[in-house]
Structure 1
Amino acid sequence: MEKLRIGLIGTGRFGRLHLRVLRQLPHVDVAAIADVYEPALRSTAQEFGIGAEECYLDPLELIKREDLDAVDIVSDEQSHGPLVIAALQYGKHVIVEKPLSVTSEEAHAIRRLQAETKRQVMVGNISRFSQPYYAIKRSIDNGMLGNVAAIRSKRNFSRSWFHSFGNRVHPVYESGVHELDLIVWYAGCRCLRVSAFERNMSGYVHPDLFSAVLVFENGLVASLDSSWMVPSLGPQNLVETLELDGTIDAEIEVIGDKGTAKFGLAHPGFAIWTDNGIQHPETTLWPTGPDGIGGAILNELTHFINQIVKGQSSPVMPLSDSVHVMEIAEAIVEAARSGETVQLGSGQQ
């Protein structure tokens, strides 16, 4: 088959990870890259041997290229919605890093445009492609857990990372969407109402932590706690492939009337002890193996390409779920601000 030509928007640390994985796929040609920050763009072009004529400081100029089949958007959160809309308007398939957008209005606009253009739109909610989380979904679908009554989840990040996000985006759109996406996936129905609370400890525009309780159509009750306050000596677990000096401490528990499923990301059973401390390398998201980068990131990008070839929307990561996650995220922000329970609509927009 002919190679799919993809343009990559965003050449930061995670954008370069996407680029490395896309280059492993036999039927993909990363034909152009874009970034509004010129030093990152030029550095990435030099590292990967990409010519100057294939580099763009304006992502819209990349999107307008007629020889591209798809775009991979790995830019800052505020740009996601507008760039996805532009890509669809120019007939491109899209994979966009989470979140889909930062407003439900943009999310609904994307859903309407996707229905009109019949293009593939997939959000990079990587947890759905990670084996432990996927196995929990299987245990729900095959009845092993029985009727699911409750979901408890948390996701905590290193305090040092919040300097980059505290004035940029509410943490519900950065850390919270991971768990919200899993909760929506596992619940299998719409959320009806949301209560939430938050606290600002660092003095940034956005809070360091928030807690939310969600009630779904089928009666399922879900809780989500998220903070950016893990201390500097927390277990280092992002030391495989994409090295970040810090910790992701995530746990989820799905409780049914026949069984319970649990997974904790911070202590997967693998440890390295040195004079400099203890590491718990995370091995499900993007581990490097003998044939390159594997894990969830490879599964996610391979699935995106396969669905384009098949001409089918993703059964694993349907756009409707991502739109609903944006509705819930927006409701959490409002509920925490107002101190009132927020009722969600029917979703017929």
Structure 2
Amino acid sequence: MQKLRIGLIGAGRFGRLHVKVLQQIPGAEVAALADINSGALYSAAAECHLAPEACYSDPLELIRRSDLDAVDIVSDEKSHGALVLSALRHGKHVIVEKPLSVSFAEAQEIEQAAAAAGKQVMVGNISRFSQPYFTIKRAIDSGQLGRIAAIRSKRDFSRSWFQGFGNRIHPVYESGVHELDLMLWYAGARCVKVSAFESSISGYTYPDLFSALLYFENGIMGSLNSSWMIPKGAPQNLVETLELDGTIDAHIEVVGEAATAQYQLAHQGLAIITGTGMQYPETTLWPAGLTGIGGAIQAELEHFVQSISRNAASPVMPLSHSVHGIEIADAIVESARTQKVIHLGEKEGAPNVYS
């Protein structure tokens, strides 16, 4: 079978992780790499054994290559929308790291462009490929939880990390989209009302805490709380493959009429005690195994390659779900700004991404 030729945009830590995983997949070939930072670009190329002539300081030059089948976008969040649209206009399939874009209007434009081009766009909502989260989805779909009544979620991050995001992007697009995507996946319906609040403690452009209440058209209630306030000294849980000195503390609970399901990302099921502190190694996202990098990142990228190779739309990462997720994110920002409840698509004829 001919390999899917992929050009990757973004040579940072996560982009390099994508390259390594794609190089493990038999049906994929990373044929080009782009980054505006030449140091990061050529360092990543050497690390991944890519020739210098396959490297581009201008992502648009990579996109214009006629011998690429797909583009993998792992760049700065605010660049995603424009790069996705450019890739579609040049006949490329796309996988883009979350978020799809940072505005609902741009997300809608992408959806229309993908349909017009006949190309697939998948968003790297990695939690859908993480076994614990998938197990909850399976329990919902099988009826084990009964009728779902509520979904509660939180996602907190180390305070030190916010130095890199506080003046760059609202956290609902950087971290909150993970939980929004899971809530949409579990609810299986459109969100029709949003009420949100936010608070700035650290003095950055964007808030370091926000809370939102969601109401879905099938009656399910959702709550999302997120902060970038975890102090130094909390157990480190991203300690291998992509090591980050800090903590992600995520928790989700799905309350059903018959049963409740819950999962916590940072937990002490596996612990390593060092001379400087405690580690709770995370083993579902991108663990290093005997044959390479596994976990959710491997499953996600393999699914993308297989979907494009088979010319089959993804049942796991429908573009419409990600577009609606950005609509909700925009509503959270607007509700917090205006202190009003935002209504989404309640009028007759509003698009239903789950129909």
Same-fold status (TM-score > 0.5):
yes
Counterpart in the other structure of 1:62: 62
Equivalence for 2:302: 302
Residue matched to 1:214: 214
- Secondary structure, counterpart of 2:100 in structure 1: coil
Contact 2:230 2:247 in 1 (8 A): yes
Preserved CA contact (<8 Å) 1:268 1:282: no
Q: What is the Cα-based RMSD across aligned positions, in Å? A: 1.0
Deviation (angstroms), 1:53? 1.2
1:181-232 CA distances to partner (integer Å, 9 max, x unpaired)? Answer: 0000001010001000000011110000100000000010000000000011
* Residue 45, structure 1, aligned to residue 45, structure 2: yes
**2-structure distance, mates of 1:71, 1:99:** 16
Q: Which runs of 5+ in 2 are unaligned?
A: none
Q: Deviations over 1:25-49 (max 9, x none)?
A: 1121100000011111111122222
Does residue 347 of structure 1 match 2:325?
no
Identical-residue share of aligned pairs (%): 66
Please list the CA deviations of residues 1-30 of structure 1 after superposition, one character each: whole Å capped at 9, or x if unmatched.
011110000000000000000000112110
User: In the TM superposition, what is the alpha-carbon distance from 1:348 to its structure 2 partner?
Assistant: 7.2
In the other structure, the counterpart of 1:88 is 88
Could you say which residue in structure 2 is the equivalent of 1:129?
Answer: 129
Taking the aligned partners of 2:247 and 2:202, their CA distance within structure 1 comes to 19
C-alpha distance in structure 2 between counterparts of 1:184 and 1:143, whole Å: 17
Query: Which amino acid in structure 1 is aligned with residue 167 of structure 2?
Result: N
Contact preservation (8 Å) 2:71, 2:92: yes
Q: 2:317 is paired with a residue of what secondary structure?
A: coil
Question: Could you say which residue in structure 1 is the equivalent of 2:176?
Answer: 176
**CA deviations over 1:234-257 (Å, ceiling 9, x no partner):** 110000210000000000000010
| Moved beyond 3 Å, runs of 4+ | none
Match of 2:193 in 1: 193
CA contact (8 A) 1:24 1:292 kept: yes
The structural deviation recorded for 1:268 is: 5.4
Aligned 1:205-244 pairs, distance under 5 A? 205-244=205-244
TM-score w.r.t. the length of structure 2 is 0.97
- TM-score, normalized by length of structure 1? 0.99
Asked if the contact 2:190–2:352 (Cα under 8 Å) also holds between the matched residues in 1, the reply is no
Give the length in aligned residue pairs. Answer: 349
Matched, 1:274 2:274: yes
Equivalent residue letter for 1:102: V
Say if 1:73 and 1:268 are closer, same or farther in 2 by CA, change over 3 A. farther
Conserved 8 A contact 1:238-1:246: yes
Superposition deviation, residue 347 in structure 1: 3.3
